[in-house]
């Protein structure tokens, strides 16, 4: 294309073309009037695939799932402060997952802001708590430059959320394209003296644990960590809520730290040195009276070897070399698949069914909350798969995260393993799954409770729940009919109440293309 | 209760009791672990009615509807930054509606914040854009003092959003109750010299318009304004998106300004002086090329007589006296009800059916968007009713707003008149309507489009829509089955495709207690 032709385009068109040239070619969108110039040109950018969601929290959750799986950002397209606000909870999870995401947020024309029209609000104030990078351009040329910078910043290891606020008049202005194609910043492993110091500790007497987060939980990282364990007797542990963990048969494992502080302290008992590799030292998810804030055991030294922004796999491989680890493949779980369960449907039989049917290469978006423990246990020896956890604790992640992963990896089966409470937050994701024919099997763990809150009430010393506290922590009265909700949005849905029917429906859903929903009444 | 007994209570208990003593006794809640001490004591505060919503945007929308109808706040109870974030869009509408709302937002224990646990985020940065008042206490005593201040600030005329961030450890600490019972701040009318100046203008030759917003749109304000009109020949106009307007037969009317700038300018043509009474001067909702930002016609003088925080009704009554207006009731629409419509179901026949069936004293939460024009026209002479508009432009208001109004006014029938696009944003409101047996008739204007965006694409010069722009502005493929969605959440739902069936179902829904949903396929 000649410069002359290009220069007749709007900044909006050049922005989308520039993103596509940089390989950023999916846009999870819920636009409004201030984004109309981006919508009107989108057909002129053939590489760009826009995907509509009926709520912005679905857009951001999809972008999170997409970024976790492909290590590159999708765009979101969001409408001003109010639309952006709806995306925040899942951006919070994305930020904690180190997911690359680029938000395009339309705003009023620059000269219209002073008039405080009804939709005007302080977008930057809303964006900062969930963004690594927030900018507002001052000219059309600046918009294109910042558009490329937003992509670069989102891909700076370990990945992050970039938010670009786009005044409508700048998007509409004519510009020449921005020539510079962004390149992802390179990451380095930890310093060699730090690796040597860690190796010394590993060669010593005390019990040492490698504590892994970020991209250390990919197969290569887990393999290197377990080679180190084989050579030194150290333990290999993982943060409790990782963005993405490879696990199952053939993939060397990490012990995942539990949720409650007493369980974490028990698990870490005896550890003398905790070597952090892409993780921060363990802290209590919430503070509980009688337990410390930090869950590093007394007398345990913390050695921060590599930050999430380091090249974690190379760090682990260099550390393996430093402790003279053998190159052989370390121990890994062997395939062991439970028999199809029978009888009562409960978290255990549900977990058995999932583990018995999980296809090789499946992706599990896990927001199963209090119902998911057994499934997590049984799948440790299931077919190799990827698990994505609730990194930021903001419920409402699972259904859109699964949808985004299915867009990213159309050849891999995706399971949304979802508690009913969180599932209702972003239930609109089912519609996008239907529209895009995404291969997502949605399993709703339907205990009709905010069960964690009933657990917390008991922990806080309540000996019995009053009627009002009970009502605030229960999803019954009326019971939600998930099959009807799914069908209302074009997704085949079914309710199951026995282990046999759950197993049968799950088998069917996994075998058929397109989305399905199975309510597991627990 | 004795001081001794009280002093054994937690700050959480004292906070809720203090709110109840101040008459703030409804709490729209979606709590989490950091709010557990508020949940655990709620049964000990018999006056407090907690109402669970399955998404925080429903909590804030309900609080908005409640505050608009009762001129006093409800509490919301929200979980940290992520939970608060989900409430922001409807708080944006509440702020623009001048609704009194008091948000209680739990946060980590003060001493746990530094550990940056997964759910930690900058709540204040999220809260400021939608709150008139944001505070975080530093002690349990401070928490109680700020709790009362939050109520006072929310009720300071014209009403506003207060956000109180509550560290979990302070909620749990033992305190004595805070004795001071808050009193709503008094409002004054405009200064008498300003009223006299406005009266002079009204007595003069040029065309003058009273431009009303806020509480000037209650029956008393509209009556006074129309007495002024009868005495001086001035026009009585209203802002386009008011929080609450009384209208229908027997209620003196105001001309509502339209949406698009060309229509506003046409409507205001010839006005020489615009007297602002609880309104800001008209501006374009969005900026459009070729039209000004401000929609005050050239040569028209703006006279800001009373701010929203003034006593607007008294201001209007004093102004009526200053222009020697007669005390007689001014002209008002006579009851004129359309015949039940027949044939095609479209915005016109839908509007006729609504106007023909609207019960006296109904409350209409109007987010009908592009489908609602005819209904608004036909209801101008329907039974007297209250309309609540989309004040902040953040869609997803209608279903929860209606639910909150139904909690506030259990004896008045409530209609949620809702576009399908916005309806999907906070569809979870249906479940709360069912659980609380609220008298809400939900009318879904199902055109299966973000129609305003298709209008905006055409306005922006697109001569045809590409397939991708079409997909981004259409809700079809798959069509949403609203009856199934409603039934999935315990609300009887029905789809209607003719004027006759819509009329029949609407009559039935209004006659029966409890919530109903009618999809009007347009």
Domain of residue A211, CATH code? 3.40.50.1220
State whether B484 and A484 contact (CB < 8 Å): yes
- Does the pTM surpass 0.90? The reply is yes
Q: Can you tell me whether residue B367 is helix, strand or coil? A: strand
Mean pLDDT across the stretch A50-56? 98
Question: Touching check for B12 and chain A: CB below 8 Å?
Answer: no
Given A322, A338, A363, which residue is the final one in a domain? A322
- B270 with B218, same domain: the answer is yes
Report the Cα A174 to chain-centroid distance in Å: 37
- A392 with A299, same domain: the answer is no
- Which positions in chain B touch A425 (Cβ < 8 Å)? 54-55, 86, 428
Handedness of CA A336, A337, A339, A344 (dihedral sign): positive
State whether B54 and A108 contact (CB < 8 Å): no
User: Looking at CA atoms only, how far is residue A198 from chain B in angstroms?
Assistant: 24
- A310 with A448, same domain: the answer is no
Alpha-carbon span A311 to B445, nearest angstrom:
53
- B22 with B151, same domain: the answer is yes
**3-class secondary structure for A49-97?**
EEEECCCHHHHHHHHHHHHHHHCCCCEEEEEHHHHHHHHHHHHHHHHHH
Percentage above 90 pLDDT, chain A:
95
State whether B33 and A286 contact (CB < 8 Å): yes
Q: How many helices and strands, by DSSP H and E, does chain B display?
A: 21, 18
Q: Can you tell me whether residue B167 is helix, strand or coil? A: strand
Residues 6+ apart with CB under 8 A from A2: none
Predicted complex ipTM exceeds 0.95: yes
Residue A186 has a pLDDT of 85
Segment (H or E) for B324: none
**B residues 420-449 closer than 8 Å to A (CB):** 421, 424-425, 427-428, 431, 434-435
- A131 with A206, same domain: the answer is no
Contact A212, A254 (CB under 8 A): yes
State whether A85 and B108 contact (CB < 8 Å): no
Question: Which residue in A393, A462, A481 is closest to B118 by CB distance?
Answer: A393
Alpha-carbon span B32 to B168, nearest angstrom:
11
Closest-approach residue (CA) in chain B for A45? B468
Question: Touching check for B479 and chain A: CB below 8 Å?
Answer: yes
Q: Strand A245-247 vs strand A385-388: parallel, antiparallel, or unpaired? A: antiparallel
Return mean pLDDT, chain A.
Answer: 96
Question: Touching check for B376 and chain A: CB below 8 Å?
Answer: no
Closest-approach residue (CA) in chain A for B456? A33
> Which of B472, B485, B514 would you mutate first to test chain A, the one with the most A CBs within 10 A?
B472
- B367 with B514, same domain: the answer is yes
Does some domain include residue A234? Answer: yes
**A residues 195-214 closer than 8 Å to B (CB):** none
Strand partners, B441: B415, B516
**B residues 311-350 closer than 8 Å to A (CB):** none
- B160 with B49, same domain: the answer is yes
Residue B398 has a pLDDT of 98
- Which positions in chain A touch B457 (Cβ < 8 Å)? 36, 39-40
State whether B478 and A435 contact (CB < 8 Å): yes
**A residues 394-413 closer than 8 Å to B (CB):** 394, 396
- Which positions in chain B touch A55 (Cβ < 8 Å)? 396, 424-425
The tens place of each residue's pLDDT in chain B, 522 residues long, gives: 334 444 579 999 999 999 999 999 999 999 999 999 999 999 999 999 999 999 999 999 999 999 999 999 999 999 999 999 999 999 999 999 999 999 999 999 999 999 999 999 999 999 999 999 999 999 999 999 999 999 999 999 999 999 999 999 999 999 999 877 777 778 999 999 999 999 999 999 999 999 999 999 999 999 999 999 999 999 999 999 999 999 999 999 999 999 999 999 999 999 999 999 999 999 999 999 999 999 999 999 999 999 999 999 999 999 999 999 999 999 999 999 999 999 999 999 999 999 999 999 999 999 999 999 999 999 999 999 999 999 999 999 999 999 999 999 999 999 999 999 999 999 999 999 999 999 999 999 999 999 999 999 999 887 788 999 999 999 999 999 999 999 999 999 999 999 999 999 999 999 999 999 999 999
Does some domain include residue A335? Answer: no
In eight-state DSSP terms, residue A130 is G
Closest-approach residue (CA) in chain A for B468? A43
- Which positions in chain B touch A33 (Cβ < 8 Å)? 286, 452-453, 456
Does some domain include residue B470? Answer: yes
- Which positions in chain B touch A40 (Cβ < 8 Å)? 457, 460-462, 469
Does some domain include residue B225? Answer: yes
- Which positions in chain A touch B34 (Cβ < 8 Å)? 286
- Which positions in chain B touch A473 (Cβ < 8 Å)? 39
State whether B480 and A473 contact (CB < 8 Å): no
Does some domain include residue A333? Answer: no
Residue A517 has a pLDDT of 98
Question: Touching check for A178 and chain B: CB below 8 Å?
Answer: no
Domain of residue B92, CATH code? 3.40.50.970
User: Looking at CA atoms only, how far is residue A151 from chain B in angstroms?
Assistant: 23
Phi, psi of A375 (to 5 degrees): -60, -40
User: Looking at CA atoms only, how far is residue A173 from chain B in angstroms?
Assistant: 11
- B146 with B226, same domain: the answer is no
Does some domain include residue A334? Answer: no
Residue A2 has a pLDDT of 39
- Which positions in chain A touch B128 (Cβ < 8 Å)? 122, 125
- B361 with B504, same domain: the answer is yes
Residue A386 has which token pair?
């990827």
The whole domain housing B362 covers: 347-521
Residue B7 has a pLDDT of 52
- A77 with A37, same domain: the answer is yes
Does some domain include residue B181? Answer: no
Q: Using the predicted structure, report yes or no on whether residue A263 has a pLDDT greater than 60.
A: yes
Q: Using the predicted structure, report yes or no on whether residue A4 has a pLDDT greater than 70.
A: no
Residue B179 has a pLDDT of 79
Q: Can you tell me whether residue A21 is helix, strand or coil? A: helix
Strand partners, A246: A386
- B9 with B38, same domain: the answer is yes
- B251 with B154, same domain: the answer is no
Q: How confident is the model at residue A7 (pLDDT cuts 50, 70, 90)?
A: low
Question: Which residue in A55, A172, A431 is closest to B425 by CB distance?
Answer: A55
Alpha-carbon span A499 to A346, nearest angstrom:
8
User: Looking at CA atoms only, how far is residue A8 from chain B in angstroms?
Assistant: 15
- At how many degrees (to 10) do helices B140-155 and B11-21 cross? 30
Domains of chain A: total: 3
Does some domain include residue A244? Answer: yes
Segment (H or E) for B336: none
Given A276, A305, A322, which residue is the final one in a domain? A322
Residues 6+ apart with CB under 8 A from B340: B352, B353, B356, B499, B500, B503
State whether A82 and B393 contact (CB < 8 Å): yes
Residue B447 has a pLDDT of 96
Q: Using the predicted structure, report yes or no on whether residue A450 has a pLDDT greater than 60.
A: yes
Residue B432 has a pLDDT of 98
Instruction: Please count the residues of chain A.
Output: 522
Instruction: Please count the residues of chain B.
Output: 522
- Which positions in chain A touch B33 (Cβ < 8 Å)? 286, 452-453, 456
Q: Can you tell me whether residue A478 is helix, strand or coil? A: coil
Among left, alpha and beta (phi > 0; psi -120 to 50; other), residue A27 is beta
Given A289, A322, A355, which residue is the final one in a domain? A322
């Amino acid at each position: 294309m000649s410069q002359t032709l290009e220069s007749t385009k709007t900044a909006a068109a050049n922005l989308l073309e520039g993103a596509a040239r940089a390989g950023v070619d999916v846009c999870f969108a819920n636009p409004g009037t201030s984004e109309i110039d981006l919508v009107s040109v989108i057909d002129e950018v053939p590489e760009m695939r826009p995907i509509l969601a009926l709520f912005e929290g679905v857009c951001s959750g999809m972008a999170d799932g997409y970024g976790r799986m492909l290590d590159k950002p999708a765009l979101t397209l969001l409408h001003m402060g109010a639309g952006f606000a709806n995306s925040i909870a899942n951006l919070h999870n994305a930020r904690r997952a180190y997911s690359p995401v680029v938000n395009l947020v339309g705003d009023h024309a620059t000269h219209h802001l002073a008039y405080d029209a009804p939709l005007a609000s302080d977008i930057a104030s809303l964006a900062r708590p969930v963004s690594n990078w927030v900018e507002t351009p001052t000219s059309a040329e600046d918009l294109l430059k910042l558009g490329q910078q937003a992509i670069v910043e989102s891909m700076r290891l370990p990945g992050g959320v970039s938010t670009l606020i786009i005044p409508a008049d700048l998007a509409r202005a004519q510009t020449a394209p921005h020539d510079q194609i962004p390149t992802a910043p390179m990451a380095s492993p930890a310093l060699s003296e730090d690796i040597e110091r860690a190796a010394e500790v590993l060669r010593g007497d005390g019990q040492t644990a490698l504590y892994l987060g970020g991209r250390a939980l990919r197969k290569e990282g887990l393999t290197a960590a377990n080679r180190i364990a084989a050579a030194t007797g150290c333990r290999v542990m993982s943060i409790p809520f990782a963005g993405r963990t490879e696990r199952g048969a053939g993939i060397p494992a990490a012990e995942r730290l539990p949720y409650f502080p007493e369980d974490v302290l028990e698990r870490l008992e005896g550890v003398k040195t905790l070597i952090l590799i892409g993780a921060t030292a363990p802290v209590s998810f919430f503070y509980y009276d009688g337990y410390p804030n930090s869950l590093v055991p007394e007398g345990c030294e913390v050695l921060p070897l590599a930050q999430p922004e380091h090249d974690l796999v190379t760090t682990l491989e260099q550390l393996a070399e430093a402790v003279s680890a053998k190159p052989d493949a370390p121990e890994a779980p062997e395939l062991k698949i439970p028999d199809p369960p029978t009888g009562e449907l409960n978290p255990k039989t549900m977990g058995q069914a999932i583990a018995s049917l999980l296809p090789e290469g499946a992706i599990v978006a896990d927001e199963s909350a209090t119902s998911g423990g057994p499934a997590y246990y049984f799948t440790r020896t299931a077919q190799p798969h990827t698990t994505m956890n609730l990194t930021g604790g903001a419920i409402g992640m699972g259904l859109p995260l699964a949808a985004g992963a299915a867009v990213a990896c159309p050849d891999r089966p995706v399971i949304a393993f979802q508690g009913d409470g969180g599932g209702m937050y972003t239930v609109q994701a089912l519609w996008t799954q239907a529209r895009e024919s995404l291969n997502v099997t949605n399993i709703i763990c339907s205990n009709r409770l905010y069960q964690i809150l009933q657990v917390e009430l008991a922990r806080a010393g309540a000996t019995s729940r009053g009627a009002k506290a009970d009502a605030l922590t229960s999803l019954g009265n009326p019971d939600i009919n998930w099959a009807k909700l799914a069908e209302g949005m074009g997704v085949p849905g079914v309710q199951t109440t026995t282990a046999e029917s759950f197993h049968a429906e799950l088998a069917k859903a996994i075998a058929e293309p397109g989305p399905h929903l199975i309510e597991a009444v627990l």
